[in-house]
Homo-oligomer: A and B are copies of this chain.
Amino acid sequence: MAGTPVRVALLGCGTVGTEVVRLLTGQAADLAARVGAPVELVGVAVRRADRHRDVPAGLLTTDALGLVSRDDVDVVVEVVGGIEPTRQWLLAALRAGKSVVTANKALLAEAQGELFAAADASGADLYFEAAVAGAIPLLRPLRESLAGDRITRVMGIVNGTTNFILSAMEETGAGYQEALSEAARLGYAEADPTADVDGYDAAAKAAILASLAFHTRVTMGDVHREGISAVTPADVLAARALDRTIKLLAICERVVGEDGTESVSARVHPAMIPRSHPLAGVGGAFNAVFVEAEAAGQLMFYGQGAGGAPTASAVLGDLVAVARNRVAGGRGPRESAYADLAARPIAQASTRYHISLDVADRAGVLAAVAAVFAQHDVSIAAVRQEGRTQDASLVVVTHRAPDAALRSTVDKIAGLPFVNAVVSVMRVEGEDQ
């Protein structure tokens, strides 16, 4: 294959990195034909050089910064993760005009502006398909295929660990801690599961998705985040009674205010969705993302959201793209943040609540509860009351209302004398009302 080789430095050689090396070498002839030039691995930065027998020893180094600064490196592929020192390595690479392919969602959700500015200054490419939803081609469609459309909403299941835990709670009736232990035992949850179960991972992905969808820089701090640790078996039962299921959702919405001003609502929280919703059937390690755009309508993307090989597939796709750009002398899309929309606080987000109460079974209870909703200007979509000897179960599902109003309503109701307990409070998504 003619053409000057495109020389690649790999940072990190864990599960994903090992798979990247395997694909790069195993498919060398195909990659060269697709790029128009050979793609050569010239160095691999690792923490401990004696632990990587699959990689030729001559390629290994523990000096990542030294590697990205070498003159014989054209493209840097980063699968280390974390914010520091990775940020410094990628900035050094981009400043030196080397294109970067990264799977690092946490870093992008924090420092995308800085990284894109460095890429822009030197004319380098910055690609990161693997950072969200693993192998699913999702960022390229948002950045490119839908670049002539107006995206209104992105909603998806983007974290496999929490999806596994919620599915287990639903299938076995287990509590959160029990389901988490089972997930850890099966390798679906890390020893420290905080990033997954508290929604940090999903929030970083929501920031990246919102940035691309709405041409606005959205960072972690702009994303409202609730994890799944507060989800109870009572919530699961309450959902089931209404033919719904609970999923941890990343939701990014374009909100048009009454004065026409647009803003972006980005949030991660558990929510009930109808069992008939396509996202309801997404189980285990799979991810799926719904996108709604004005001209395109509803789109769904589905596939494996994690794992060495799927993530490596996304990395290699980006690597082929930046290598092609090098060969053709062009560039991929830059950061598109011109719209510069404000982030809408969760209090102003328009959501729906499902509220399950344990109340005394006597006259006037429903009237009193309904009055609290009315006082807060929250419209009720459905009510279900079931008597049980002395007490009763009262379930209320609201229409869309500002989140702050819903919270205040619930607080007030919790304090009513005849309300024994607020059994479950959960947002409802996937139904337009």
Contact = CB atoms under 8 A, between A and B. Distances in A.
Interface of A: 19, 23, 27, 30-31, 33-34, 129, 135-137, 140-141, 144-150, 215, 278, 293-304, 307, 309-310, 312-321, 324-325, 328-331, 333, 336, 338-339
A215 B29 CA distance: 13
Contacts of A27: 148, 150
A319 B34 contact: no
Nearest to A301: B301
Contact of A315 (B148, B299, B325): B148
Contacts of A300: 300-303
A151 to B, nearest CB: 10
Nearest to A140: B145
A296 B135 contact: yes
Contacts of A294: 309
B137 A316 contact: no
Given A129-B145, A137-B144, A297-B307, 4 more contacts: A23-B295, A140-B140, A147-B320, A297-B309
A330 B329 CA distance: 6
Contact of A140 (B141, B293, B303): B141
A404 B353 CA distance: 59
A338 B295 CA distance: 35
5 contacts: A34-B148, A147-B316, A149-B316, A295-B310, A295-B313
A33 B336 contact: yes
Contact of A148 (B298, B302, B319, B338): B319
A297 B135 contact: yes
Given A34-B336, A129-B145, A329-B329, A293 B320 contact: no
B296 A147 contact: no
Contact of A297 (B303, B319, B330): B303
B295 A316 contact: yes
A33 B141 CA distance: 18
Contacts of A150: 27, 30
A298 B134 CA distance: 12
